[in-house]
Amino acid sequence: MNASGGGAATAAVTRAEYCVIACAEAWRGGGEILASPMGAVPSVGARLARLTFAPDLLLTDGEATLVGPDGEPEGWLPYRRHLALVTGGRRHVMMGASQIDRFGNQNISCIGAWERPARQLLGVRGAPVNTLNNPVSYWIPRHSPRVFVERVDMICGVGHDSARAAGPSATRFHRIPRVVSDLGVFDFATPDRSMRLASLHPGVTVDQVREATGFALTVPADVPYTRGPSPAELALIREAIDPARTRDREVRV
């Protein structure tokens, strides 16, 4: 389907639910790996993936317990085992980003010059280790030029150009499968590994995405729409996984 001219959103499916599906697809085909979703929509997406096409996916409560898609304990995940999964590449984390640039460099530390920032954020945290050891995708609930920037103010999550500049030790396990925003899905399937529009959420146009992006985005001639949930997936999202509709607090469309 060519989405270049936009299209009407399916009435029964909300934008937040398209975002859930887009996040869930990040874990397709991953096998027995640990999903580390950060945010309501990625969390619903990971649980949906586990219940449908990724039954081997491991989920955690964020502390020391492996849980099932219903949130009930399934096993123990001590910190040393968690670190082994991270450093061994057996985790796929979906992080947030205060800024992200065309090559996937991510900033969650500060806005402005590091020596005198205008705003202090979370700090670098584990972003460098995450991006150099296991797959890292990103979830951005408010797509805007303030987030999708020409150049991040500080590199926390390592992008393709930064990994390339650092050499084989940085590129060996470096992988950014996708970026999901409230407007669409993005990947880095370009010759220089810069960001490309992979799909639009129904109801969004290419022009909207371009206007909300602070750098020149690669846009194919034919842009598909993000796939919608099946009736069974929609029932799981609404009735079993997220009846409280936490997804709508992140995506208000």
pLDDT at residue 7, as a whole number: 39
pLDDT at residue 3, as a whole number: 57
pLDDT at residue 87, as a whole number: 78
Q: Specify if 9 maps to a domain.
A: no
pLDDT at residue 62, as a whole number: 74
pTM over 0.75: yes
For 174-183, the pLDDT digits (tens) are 999 999 999 9
Q: Specify if 60 maps to a domain.
A: yes
Q: Angle at the Cα of 49 (from 46 to 50), degrees rounded to 5?
A: 90
Q: How many domains, in total, are found in the chain?
A: 1
Spatial separation of the C-alpha atoms in residues 148 and 143, rounded to whole Å = 7
User: Domain containing 91 — which CATH number?
Assistant: 3.40.1080.10
pLDDT at residue 2, as a whole number: 55
Low-confidence ranges of the chain (pLDDT < 70): 1-11
Question: Which of 14, 10, 8, 9 minimizes the C-alpha distance to 237?
Answer: 14
Q: Specify if 151 maps to a domain.
A: yes
C-alpha to C-alpha distances, 35 to 57, 106, 238, nearest whole angstrom: 7, 19, 21
Q: Specify if 217 maps to a domain.
A: yes
> Please, what is the average pLDDT of the chain?
92
Structural domain of 53 = 15-244
Q: Specify if 10 maps to a domain.
A: no
Q: Specify if 7 maps to a domain.
A: no
Q: Which residues pair with 111 in a beta bridge?
A: 119
pLDDT at residue 213, as a whole number: 98
User: Are the beta carbons of 82 and 56 closer than 8 angstroms?
Assistant: no
For 146-173, the pLDDT digits (tens) are 999 999 999 999 999 999 999 999 999 9
